[in-house]
Amino acid sequence: MTTSAASRYRALEALPRERTSMLPALHAIAEADGWVSPEGLAAVSRHLRVPNSELYGIARSYNELRFEPPGGTPIEVCTGLSCRLAGADALAEDIRASGDSTVEVREVACRFRCAEGPVVSVAHRYIAPADASTALTAAEPRRRRRTHAKRTVRRVRRAEVRRLMAHLGAPSDLESVRVRGAYAGLDAARAMTGEAATEVVAASGLRGRGGAYFPTGVKWQSARAFEGPRYLVVNAEEGEPGVFKDRTLLERDPHLVVEGLLIATHAIEAERCFVYLNGEADAAASALSSAIDEASAAGLLGGTDVEVRRGAGGYVCGEESVILSSIEGERAVPRLKPPLPVERGLWGRPTVINNVETLANLPSIFLDGVESFRSVGTAEQPGTKLISLSGAVARPGLYEVPLGTTLRAVLEDLGGGGRGGHEIRAVVAGGPSGGLLPPSRFDVALLGGSLDPGGAALGAGGIVAIDDSMPLLEIVRHLAAYNAAESCGKCTPCREGTPRMRNLLGEIASGEAPADALELLDALDEAMSSASLCGLGQMAALPYRSARTHFLEVLTGGMR
């Protein structure tokens, strides 16, 4: 290694020479060079003693790492569905039309500020909402610096019950949050045995808020049935377009999450805790790391080893087995199940994986009691749910509502209905792994699981409202294209099926589809849903399936 290279990659020296340092090492060389260069990969290979060919395959499994040097200052235009509804396509063209040769315009899938679109990021600085002028100004050398603009938190509205969001507008340093009662729930939990604390959570009826809605207490009991050491993994990847709840909690009230993860580590008697955080979530990472440092200095960690690991992109990285592989330094691809993580997770040991929002519920359960927690929501699904509302509504934003609240109440009472006098024609519920709902289904209760036979689901709580500014067929094709781009390629049904579905939908849109296009799409739906290895492939056809169920005329109109 040359002297200059050794100097650039000095950050590697601080990393343990173990495979689990893989992602931190890749981030270090990407930060040093602005891209993952061959020289940087060689430095990682030497430091971790991993063959360069194997290392290259691991690095290539992350889609946020770039492998070519930028051709100018990168201006990243978010072209997620919410931002496209806010004019992102035209914005990207306007920036290109400026003729500025010092910038490189890149279209990225989502930047998770969906309520503020269109969004542009320049050198880790977000401009939201953006136009061509503000984007180009931000790219000027003297203005390129990291900044963490705080997200807007809307005032409480009638349909809301704010528990997790109760203090989002208040100071979030340790001294301030302790005045508000932070860590009192942790004290109450630690006054019990781990087994007793687990029983409290089971009695509360809390279900996972990451999308699966599996009973949290049951998951903990399952992990405790296996001999330790045990691990806790906090899923803070939040890579689903249209969802921005976990980032908001981490940015605005990080101690709430830290208290929750400490309760969980006590209950399951975890030896270590890893927070797997989206690689683009700089503001969340900064706030969380500060909160962990404050809690450690105050002696609140109780000996728990809490480590933040930054991901490097990919929708599939939110899948729990992919997170485990990523932390261990392997390729970001799913594992076969069983065994489940609670039996054999990180390094073959029992591992509990909980979502950020799930853990944020724990302090109030132990401080205010089980009955208080169960006083809202439904008997089977108690508590509140954070809803990320974006798209064609008058008041997009993050809202907190009791489980069982209707979709119509979210769209109208909270979101203010359609924007600019336009009507909402449909909503996307559940993101690229969900589906479309027509207005006739807006009175459905928002509960974990399927909302409709067509495929729409509450999932992580992302709801994108659609008006007439974008054709419904283009919405479906957009979601299919996203799933095709995000397939990790490990299993054939997803690797081959998602691009074929995308292409067929594109042919329908252009009027060039074969007469049996729907039959072909139905066959792809069946193959992917029944034979894909993980949830991405299994649910990738749901946008098409929901369109076929509720908007058949949109599909048949483009067939010859």
Q: For 220-257, what is each residue's pLDDT tens digit?
A: 999 999 998 999 999 999 999 999 999 999 999 999 99
370 CB burial (10 A radius; 0-12, 13-18, 19+): middle
Q: DSSP alpha helices (H): ranges in 311-355?
A: 320-328
At 341-350, the pLDDT tens digits run 999 999 999 9
**Do 209 and 243 form a contact (C-beta atoms < 8 A)?**
no
Q: At what angle do helices 52-60 and 22-33 cross, to 10 degrees?
A: 80
pLDDT of the residue at 560: 44
Low-confidence ranges of the chain (pLDDT < 70): 1-3, 142-150, 557-560
The span from the CA of 304 to the CA of 356, in Å, is 18
Q: Does this model's pTM top 0.75?
A: yes
- What is the pLDDT at residue 149? 62
Outline where 106-253 has alpha helix (H): 132-138, 174-179, 184-190, 194-204, 216-224, 245-252
Instruction: Report d(CA 88, CA 268) in Å as an integer.
Output: 45
pLDDT of residue 148: 56
In 3D space, the residue among 198, 210, 245 whose CA is nearest the CA of residue 370 turns out to be: 198
User: What pLDDT, on the 0 to 100 scale, is given for residue 150?
Assistant: 67
What is the rounded CA–CA span in Å between residue 473 and residue 198? 47
Whether the Cβ atoms of residue 172 and residue 287 lie closer than 8 Å to each other: yes
Say if CB 279 and CB 24 are below 8 A apart. Answer: no
The CA angle 418-423-424, to the nearest 5 degrees, is 75
pLDDT of residue 282: 92
Confidence at residue 337, expressed as pLDDT on a 0 to 100 scale:
87
pLDDT at 253: 97
Q: At what angle do helices 254-268 and 282-297 cross, to 10 degrees?
A: 60
